[in-house]
A and B are shown apart, each in its own frame.
Chain A
Amino acid sequence: MDNIITIENLIFEYNKGDESHPVRAIDNLNLQVERGSFTAIIGKNGSGKSTLAKNLNGLLLPTEGVIHVDGYDTRDDDNIWNIRQTAGMVFQNPDNQLVSAIVEDDVAFGPENLGIDPAEIRRRVDKALKDVNMGQFKKKAPHLLSGGQKQRIAIAGVVAMKPKCIIFDEPTAMLDPKGRAEIMSIIDELHAEGITVILITHFMDEAVRADRVIIMHEGRILLDGTPQKVFEQEELIRSVNLDVPLMVEMGAKLRKAGIDIPQSIITEEEMVEYICQYE
């Protein structure tokens, strides 16, 4: 298997005021992420998922263990720009990620810092804005856009760096339903173009779109597999105070009522088809 990210025995600890009692946010974690895959990571606040994300592009460095991103060791200072260019990050609040007064300048900020030729930057910015359907807004001021539009600009800024992998850390948490839908369809498109996607989310209906779901709990991986396999573990998931997708809950209730609904059904479309064809 061709892995873009490999994590071996990762331990991450941070100091909360008292250096003699570090808090262990990630506890001996091993993980490989296949090139071109779409992985959703879920877990409650404090489960270590955002800490993990920040370790993936060198914003945080392992306390122990090794992370390789496209072959680069994140602990090696000389690799940091290669790593940042390989694995881009999109955060929860676009306001914290936008830096310029004009949309296209903002998108150009990353490539400019890579020292790319201006003509190439122009091409990349136009392409990135087109990818997020924001081409017509390129001369606008970011602060006059909606939350969903701002988040799309933040994504364009990452896309313009031509990353092989994008890590989305709760990109829809602050958006309304329309903004959420826009961002999710862009994530699907980027994935279809071959970019490796890692999506950290609290929304189970977003997680079911991935081809792999990882549930984190107390700094460790609790479950890891296809959405179908993971969401079969309804009770375990609920025991760590997480939700399951609505159709997983519906399936369980129907099975309890004596209807034979396969556990592999996790989306609304699948459930509707199954019920309509039930004999």
Chain B
Amino acid sequence: MSIRVENLIHIYDKGMPTEQLALDNISFAADDGRMVGIIGHTGSGKSTLLQHLNGLLRPDSGKIIIGDTDITQPGVSMVEIRKKIGLVFQYPEYQLFEETVAKDVAFGPKNLGLSREEIDERVREAIELVGLDYEEMKDRSPFELSGGQKRRVAIAGVVAMRPEVLILDEPTAGLDPKAHKDVLNMVEEVHKRTGNITILVSHNMADIARLCDKIIVIDSGKLITSGTPYEVFSKKEELRAVGLELPPVTRFTETLRERGIDLAATILDTDTAAEQIAAYLKGKAK
């Protein structure tokens, strides 16, 4: 399984005075088992891109090929797209609506026309995949849960569709530090256990650097650069020019480097940063 986006173009209000090129020839690919990060400031075109990936918007030109199906083709049904690609919106818990957790998670699979047994099995599996206890949670009202739990239930609703590509738009926005960590660990766990392609959209550069195999940078509807976290975060001038920052620890070590401290370039984790700074300072003290 792979996802390939080829020369995607989307124009809002085509032919109107307000016409705007929202996606400008975007191409990228990801294979099974990969986690891809998408970064870009608000208004860069990220959300427009996501809405194409799950069929909510159709491109003016270009292709989105999942496996061997081009989902932009007229003959492809929404159900087919939704089976392949699951999109978790920002603040997905606002979309919880059922009386019980189990019913809420079952909503998507029911619409796929699956058998009762199949639905029950998927609901149980999804609730457990997001780190909740099925027996304890299934009959509870989603509205009496904590913020972090609600978000897990909402994500379980998408996971229960068993999508080959799972897209999460800012899955940790508004959560406290503990829930933030828990939700990301859960995303990683689901990713590892299902082997899906996960696409993570986030403003948190530390999370993106830690989790993703590949990062795509979007600005003004264009893909301006892509690569491994190391490759992308090495281009600090390019990122700053489009209003993006480095992960905090990287920003810190780069500031030290600019001040003449001898460290490796583009350090992405605190342990490496601390080791290198300690080694430098010990060398200096001698």
Chain A positions near chain B (C-beta within 8 angstroms): 16, 44-46, 92, 146-147, 170, 173-174, 176-179, 202, 205, 241-243, 246-247, 249-250, 253-254, 257-259, 268, 271-272, 275-276, 278-279
CB pair A242 B282 closer than 8 Å: no
In the complex, whether B184 has a CB less than 8 A from a CB of chain A is no
B221 CB → nearest A CB, Å = 17
Residue in contact with A258 in the complex, picked from B174, B175, B278, CB distance below 8 Å: B278
Flag if B275 contacts A275 (CB, 8 Å): no
Given A174-B174, A178-B41, A46–B274 Cβ distance below 8 Å?
no
Q: Could you say which of B245, B271, B285 contacts A253, with CB atoms under 8 Å apart?
A: B271
**Would you give 8 A-B contacts (Cβ < 8 Å), ordered by A?**
A146-B43, A202-B176, A241-B177, A253-B271, A254-B278, A257-B274, A268-B255, A276-B260
Within 8 A of A (CB), among B160-207: 173-180, 203
Residue of A nearest to B42 (CB): A176
The reply to whether A246 and B252 form a contact with Cβ atoms under 8 Å apart is yes
Nearest chain-B residue to A241 (Cβ)?
B178
Q: Which residue of B lies closest to A271 (CB)?
A: B252
Check A243/B177 contact, CB under 8 A, given A176-B203, A257-B275, A259-B278. yes
With the chains together, A170 CA to B277 CA distance in Å? 34
Contact of A242 among B177, B243, B252, B277 (CB under 8 A): B177
On chain B, the residues within 8 Å of A258 by CB distance are 278, 282
Collect the chain A residues with CB atoms within 8 Å of residue B249's CB.
246, 250
Given the known interface contacts A45-B179, A174-B174, A250-B270, the answer about A257 and B278 at a Cβ–Cβ threshold of 8 Å is yes
B252 contacts which of A45, A202, A254, A272 (Cβ < 8 Å)?
A272
Q: Chain A residues near B179 (CB, 8 Å)?
A: 44-45
B-side interface residues, number (CB < 8 Å): 38
Q: Which chain A positions have C-beta within 8 A of B178?
A: 44, 241-242
Q: Is B227 an interface residue (CB 8 A)?
A: no
Query: What distance in Å separates the Cβ of A235 from its nearest Cβ neighbour in chain B?
Result: 15
List the B side residues contacting A179 at CB < 8 Å.
Answer: 42
How far, in angstroms, from A153 to B173 measured CA to CA in the complex? 21
Q: Please indicate the chain B residues that have their CB under 8 angstroms from the CB of A205 in the complex.
A: 248
- Given the complex, which residues of A lie within 8 Å of B274, measured CB to CB? 250, 253-254, 257
Complex Cα gap A177–B144 (Å) = 31
Q: In the complex, what distance in Å separates the CA atom of A205 from the CA atom of B285? A: 30
Contact A275–B243 (Cβ < 8 Å) = no
Within 247-262 of B, Cβ neighbours of A (below 8 Å) are at: 248-249, 251-252, 255-256, 259-261
Determine the residue in chain A with the shortest Cβ distance to B90.
A174
Q: Which residue of B lies closest to A47 (CB)?
A: B176
Whether B177 and A275, one on each chain, are in contact in the complex, defined by CB atoms closer than 8 angstroms, is no
Looking across the interface, which residue of chain B has its beta carbon closest to that of A173?
Answer: B174
Q: How far is the CB of B193 from chain A (nearest CB, A)?
A: 25
Tell me, rounded to whole Å, the shortest Cβ–Cβ distance linking B84 to chain A: 29
The 3 A-B residue pairs with the shortest CB-CB distance, nearest first, are A253-B274, A257-B278, A241-B178
A-side contacts of B243, CB under 8 Å? 178
* Chain B positions within 8 Å of A177 at CB level: 41, 203, 245
* Cβ of B111 under 8 Å from chain A: no
Q: Are A272 and B270 neighbours in the complex by a CB distance under 8 Å?
A: no
Closest chain B residue, CB of each to CB of A204: B177
Q: Give min CB distance, A30 to chain B, whole Å.
A: 24
| B78 interface contact, C-beta 8 A | no
**Which of B42, B144, B271, B284 is A278 in contact with, Cβ under 8 Å?**
B284
B273 on interface, CB distance cutoff 8 Å = yes
Q: Which residue of A lies closest to B144 (CB)?
A: A16
B256: chain A residues at CB < 8 Å are: 272, 275-276
B147 beta carbon closer than 8 Å to chain A: yes
B270 touches A249 (CB 8 A): yes
Report the separation of the CA atoms of residues A275 and B274 in the bound assembly, to the nearest whole angstrom.
Answer: 12
| Complex contacts, A276 vs chain B, CB 8 Å | 256, 259-261
Evaluate contact between B174 and A147: CB separation under 8 angstroms. Answer: no
CB of B281 closer than 8 Å to a CB of A: yes
- Quick check: is B131 within 8 A (CB to CB) of the other chain? no
Residue of A nearest to B271 (CB): A253
Q: Give Cα A249 to B256, complex, Å.
A: 17
B115 close to chain A: CB less than 8 A:
no
Contacts A92-B174, A146-B43, A250-B252 given: A278-B270 contact, CB under 8 Å?
no
Is B18 an interface residue, CB under 8 A from the partner?
Answer: no
Q: Which residues of B contact A278 (CB under 8 A)?
A: 281, 284-285
Contact between A279 and B284 (Cβ–Cβ < 8 Å)?
yes
Shortest C-beta distance, B247 to chain A (Å), equals 10
The contact string, 1 if C-beta is below 8 Å from chain A, for chain B 33-46, is 00000000111000
